[in-house]
Amino acid sequence: MSTPLTPKAERTRNHILDTALTLFRTQGYETTTLRDIAAAAECSLGLTYRYFARKEDLVLVLYSRMVQETNAEIAQLPPVGMAERFQQTMSKRLEQVTPYRDSVLFRSGTITNPTSDVSLFGEAAADMRQQTLEAFVMLVRESRDAPRNALAETLAALLYSLHFGIILFWLIDRSAEQQHSKRLLEFSATLIARFQPLLSLPLVSSSLNQLAAVLRPVFVGES
Amino acid sequence: MSTPLTPKAERTRNHILDTALTLFRTQGYETTTLRDIAAAAECSLGLTYRYFARKEDLVLVLYSRMVQETNAEIAQLPPVGMAERFQQTMSKRLEQVTPYRDSVLFRSGTITNPTSDVSLFGEAAADMRQQTLEAFVMLVRESRDAPRNALAETLAALLYSLHFGIILFWLIDRSAEQQHSKRLLEFSATLIARFQPLLSLPLVSSSLNQLAAVLRPVFVGES
């Protein structure tokens, strides 16, 4: 897929992908085969293979779409406070993953299993995590109350880690419409705004630097 | 299992359980059947069924053993500071779950899927979570630097939530011997000790109360 696709090929590829994602949502990831996808998309199995050699590739393309969408949203955020920019980003992120919540793709632990080919935290998604971290740097830097340079990188890594923490919490949240997760997001934003004036205290900023150094290798990757 | 077992029956039951746990670790949870367990334990399938009607029951007994072990360890902690008591408890907890780390039981997302019968966060384990929360109340209350009454309950709920946060982090941590998770635990203990003097400030204690109210329904249960 290194050479650009023709418009027709691009449409076919997107049609196969959309069909696959519908099947993952409705009948589950594990039980859906490439053959099922080809049949539902009314494509030959050969054509389907040409675009997606493995079922895992479809999931990685889904992640990649989500990452591009999230990063584009971050680029368009208004220059309000950092806490509000984080809250807006996360609200949309939770909306984005909600259709897949009951899918076996999420339920099976695929995304939390770092040895799986389609884990959010595995090797295959490492570049996407790095790209999203860079978007989070923008989220922090272009906020009205952006902190000084070095701390901005730290805060971006912490907010990106918190973003995964909220998604993992949302996965185990059984309340109606995951209301507890929404409350956790609101609370996080309130807390960030409330304690932001303290961030420049040396004891606070050094603690945050240490925490970012611990979380970053797991949530983003070894640098 | 409401009537007490004879010593011989108790031994048989433990033998079946140990055999099952070995199979879960070596060949994975999903692929192990009750028939495999009976064969490996050299028991009849009928006898195995008498003690464990479903494979899920074996997992719940494993959780229950772990909970009893952790709670017994908390009861024996020295009356040092809260941060150190938490660190000691968590170090042993991570040692306890390490043999199961690569098992499909963990890897399959069984434990993070709240709709699974054997989820750590589902209905079936709700009583165990409540018991462990009570042990964490003891962890806080009997520490040398125990805070005043109401805050002790809040801190127990927060430490118990942090305990699950560290376990989830440990699950996705691919570093050798999960060294990042160990660093996260050390850092958490350092941070708790460092900021403990601030806990009685009204703005801090009210934030902690709010956070506990958000986390508790998901990590412990609706009260």
Please report, rounded to a whole number, the percentage of residues in chain B having pLDDT higher than 70.
Answer: 94
Enumerate the residues of chain B whose CB falls inside 8 A of the CB of residue A122: 174
> Which candidate from A108, A165, A207 shows the least CB-CB separation from B109?
A108
Q: Which residue has the tokens 């560290």?
A: B166
Contact at CB, A110 and B114, closer than 8 angstroms: no
CA neighbor of A142 nearest in space, from A86, A213, A96, A181:
A86
At B40-74, the pLDDT tens digits run 999 999 999 999 988 888 888 888 999 999 999 99
Q: What is the pLDDT of residue B106?
A: 64
Per the CB < 8 Å rule, is A183 touching B112?
A: no
User: In the prediction, which pLDDT does A110 show?
Assistant: 67
Q: Which segments of A76-196 does DSSP mark as H helices, in order?
A: 82-97, 104-107, 126-141, 149-172, 179-195
From the number of C-beta atoms within 10 Å of its C-beta (0-12, 13-18, 19+), residue A26 rates as exposed
- Which among A113, A175, A203 has CB closest to B109? A113
Does residue B10 surpass a pLDDT of 90?
A: no
Report the gap between the CA of B191 and the closest CA in chain A (Å): 8
Whether residue A172 and residue B217 make contact (CB cut-off 8 A), yes or no, is no
Residues of A with Cβ-Cβ distance to B208 under 8 angstroms: none
CB contact under 8 A, A184 and B214: yes
How far is the C-alpha of B52 from the C-alpha of B67, rounded, in Å?
19
Confidence of residue B166 (pLDDT cuts 50, 70, 90): very high
The count of other CB atoms within 10 Å of the CB of residue B26 is 11
Looking at the complex, report in whole angstroms how far the Cα of residue B84 sits from the nearest Cα belonging to chain A.
18
Shortest Cα distance from B64 to chain A (angstroms)?
Answer: 20
Residues whose CB falls within 8 Å of the CB of residue B199, separated by 6 or more in sequence, listed in order: B147, B151, B155, B205, B208
Cβ A172–B112 below 8 Å, yes or no?
Answer: yes
Q: How far is B164 from chain A (nearest CA, A)?
A: 10
Instruction: Confirm whether the ipTM is greater than 0.85.
Output: yes
Name residues of chain A where pLDDT drops below 70: 1-3, 103-110, 114, 223
Q: How far apart are CA B184 and CA A135, in angstroms?
A: 25
Chain B hits for A174, CB-CB cut-off 8 Å, are 114-115, 121-122, 218
Query: Do the chains contact at A121 and B174, CB–CB below 8 Å?
Result: yes
Give how far A118 is from chain B: nearest CA, Å.
13
Q: Which residues contact A72 (CB under 8 A, 6 or more apart)?
A: none
CB contact under 8 Å between A215 and B184, yes or no, is yes
Region of poorest pLDDT, from A171-175, B82-86, B142-146: A171-175
Torsion of CA B56, A119, B164, A177, to 10 degrees: -80
| Contact residues on chain A for B197, CB-CB shorter than 8 A | none
Q: What pLDDT is attached to residue A105?
A: 60
**Helices B149-172 and B82-97 sit at what angle, rounded to 10 degrees?**
30
Alpha helices, H only, B28-125: 34-41, 45-51, 55-75, 82-97, 104-107
- Report the C-alpha gap between B119 and B112 in whole angstroms: 6
Residues of B near A (Cβ–Cβ under 8 Å) read: 106-116, 119, 121-122, 165, 168-169, 171-175, 180-181, 183-184, 187, 191, 194, 203, 207, 210-211, 214-215, 217-218
Q: How many angstroms separate the CA of residue A204 from the nearest CA in chain B?
A: 10
Mutation to test the A interface, candidates B100, B107, B196, B211, most A Cβ within 10 Å: B107
State the pLDDT at residue B210: 95
CB pairs under 8 A between A and B: 94
Say what the pLDDT of residue B55 is.
86
Yes or no: say if B82 and B155 are a contact pair by the CB < 8 Å rule: yes
pLDDT exceeds 70 at position B132: yes
Say which DSSP state B201 is in.
S
The stretch B151-170 carries a mean pLDDT of 95
